[in-house]
Amino acid sequence: MTTQTDTIAAMSTPPGAGAIGILRLSGQSAVSIAETCFKPLGHSGLRDHKPRELVYGDLLDSGGQPIDRVLCTYSLGPSSYTGEDTAEFHCHGSPMVLTLGLEALFAAGARQAGAGEFTRRAFLNGRLDLAQAEAVGDLLEAQSREGARHAAGQLAGALSRRIGDIYSALVDVMAHFHAVLDYPDEDIDPFRLEQLDAALSVQEGELNALLASCGRAKLLKDGAACAIVGRPNAGKSSLLNAMVGYDRAIVTDIPGTTRDTVEERCELGGVPLRLIDTAGLRDTTDPVEKLGVERSRRAMEEAELILVLIDSSRPAEDEDFSLLQEAMALAPTILVWTKGDLPSQPCPMKRYEEIRCPAVTVSARTRYLDELCNEISCAFPQDLWGGYGEILTNARQEEAASRAREAVRRAREALQAGMTPDALLTDVEEALAALGEVTGQSVREDVTDRIFQRFCVGK
Complete domains list, the chain, with CATH: 8-129 (3.30.1360.120), 133-213+391-440 (1.20.120.430), 220-384 (3.40.50.300)
Give the pLDDT band of residue 52 (cuts 50, 70, 90): very high
Q: Which strands, in side-by-side order, build the sheet including 333-338?
A: 262-268, 271-277, 224-230, 305-311, 333-338, 359-361
Ranked by mean pLDDT, the top range of 122-136, 187-201, 211-225 is 122-136
C-alpha 160/C-alpha 157 separation (Å) is 5
The region of weakest confidence among 298-312, 327-341, 439-453 is 439-453
pTM reported for the whole predicted model: 0.73
Tell me the percentage of the chain whose pLDDT exceeds 90: 34
pLDDT of 426 > 80? The answer is yes
Query: What is the rounded distance in angstroms from the CA atom of residue 87 to the CA atom of residue 52?
Result: 9
User: Angle CA(18)–CA(19)–CA(23) in degrees, nearest 5?
Assistant: 80
159, 398 contact by CB (below 8 A): no
**CA–CA gap between residue 190 and residue 10 (Å, rounded):** 62
Residue 167: in which H helix or E strand, if any? Answer: helix 158-182
- The DSSP bridge pattern shows strands 224-230 and 18-26 to be unpaired
Count of residues in the chain: 459
User: What pLDDT was estimated at residue 447?
Assistant: 60
Of the candidates 456, 93, 301, 111, which has an alpha carbon nearest to the alpha carbon of residue 102?
Answer: 111
Closest CA to 38 of 96, 108, 93, 95: 108
| Least confident segment among 383-387, 393-397, 425-429, 442-446 | 383-387
Residue 313 is predicted with a pLDDT of 82
Give me the percent of the chain exceeding a pLDDT of 70. 82
Cα 384 to Cα 145, 210, 268, distances in angstroms = 17, 12, 17
Q: Which of 245, 281, 452 is nearest to 364 (CA)?
A: 245
Residues 124 and 445: beta-carbon distance below 8 Å: no
Q: 240 with 289: CB under 8 angstroms? A: no
Segment 33-40 mean pLDDT: 96
Kindly tell me if the per-residue pLDDT of 67 is higher than 90: yes
Q: Is the pLDDT reported for residue 237 higher than 90?
A: no
pLDDT surpassing 60 at residue 58: yes
